[in-house]
Amino acid sequence: MKTETTKGTRSTNLLKAYLCFLCLLWLLPLAAQAQNTFTLDQVFAKMDQVAKGFRSTQADIERTKVTLIVNDKDVAHGKIYYVRRGKEPRLKIQLSEPMTQYLLIDKGKLQLYTPNLKQVQEASLGGHSNTVEQFMALGFGQSSEDLKKNYQVSLAGEETVDGKKTAVLELIPKNAGMGIKNVRMWMDEQTGISVQVKATETSGDYTMFRYTNIKLNGNIADSTFDLKMPKDVRVLKM
């Protein structure tokens, strides 16, 4: 009788141990996932690490502009070039599809050139070059202090974009005059660089920038920032 009781007790203990083991296996992925989740401080630390050695970036860009009131969606493709040397940023966005356009920020001036129209719109940025840079080149080598200077920053979770695990930042501009309600940035957790940015206007319209084939700290020739406009180009002051 004791032998049967002992066998029964052992069987019960083995069953409990087996069930505990299964529960442990089930819980482990959840625990691992919790440990791998980026905190906001970790995002800032990654950004600051990249910012220390940042010189330049270039990438393919897809820009999607959505206008809600007329249900219009405009998609354009091209390239972005960004160089930071001292306090004067150099930024060029070159859209080639469906219509060729160039946006250049250089030497304290903004230029929007449309070759088909032989027209360039120009505006002096005055002391606002850095503010414009913070928006147009968002997530490319800025430090956490730069980001917090212009935005209220919160962490909105994690998402996978083009197979890359990203930390999603919700940014509220401190300068209401920009006409931007909020900005959402997807930062690659491995590289500390933005792979996608969505800017929503106060009207609800939004623009999405998606970056692929990103190259960091390569040599970008000065000639990249020459617009090469014809002499008879029409200049419009903004």
Q: What pLDDT shows up at residue 85?
A: 75
Total domains, the chain: 1
Cα–Cα distance measured from residue 205 to residue 179, given in angstroms and rounded to the nearest whole number = 11
| Whether residue 2 has pLDDT greater than 50 | no
Residue 92 lies in a domain: yes
Residue 94 lies in a domain: yes
Radius of gyration of the chain (CA): 25
- Prediction pTM value: 0.79
Residue 238 lies in a domain: no
Cis previous bond, 115, omega within 30: no
Residue 36 lies in a domain: no
Residue 237 lies in a domain: no
On average, the pLDDT of the chain sits at 82
| Whether residue 8 has pLDDT greater than 70 | no
Which of the four pLDDT bands, split at 50, 70 and 90, describes residue 103?
A: very high
Residue 226 lies in a domain: no
Residue 62 lies in a domain: yes
List Cα–Cα distances, 154 to 21, 200, 209, 219, in angstroms. Answer: 38, 16, 20, 34
Q: What is the token pair recorded at 160?
A: 């996978």
Q: Which residue range is the domain that position 63 belongs to?
A: 55-221
| 122-131 mean pLDDT | 72
Residue 146: how many CA atoms within 13 Å on its side-chain side? 19
**pLDDT tens digits for 80-92?**
999 987 767 789 9
Residue 28 lies in a domain: no
Which CATH number do you get for residue 170?
Answer: 2.50.20.10
| 174-199 mean pLDDT | 88
Residue 92: how many CA atoms within 13 Å on its side-chain side? 20
Q: What pLDDT shows up at residue 124?
A: 86
Residues 54 and 63: beta-carbon distance below 8 Å: no
| 129-144 mean pLDDT | 73
| Whether residue 27 has pLDDT greater than 50 | no
Could you tell me which residue, 87 or 149, shows the higher pLDDT? 149
Buried b / exposed e over 146-155, threshold 16 CB at 10 Å, is: bbeebbebeb
Q: What percent of the chain has pLDDT over 70?
A: 79
Q: What pLDDT shows up at residue 34?
A: 40
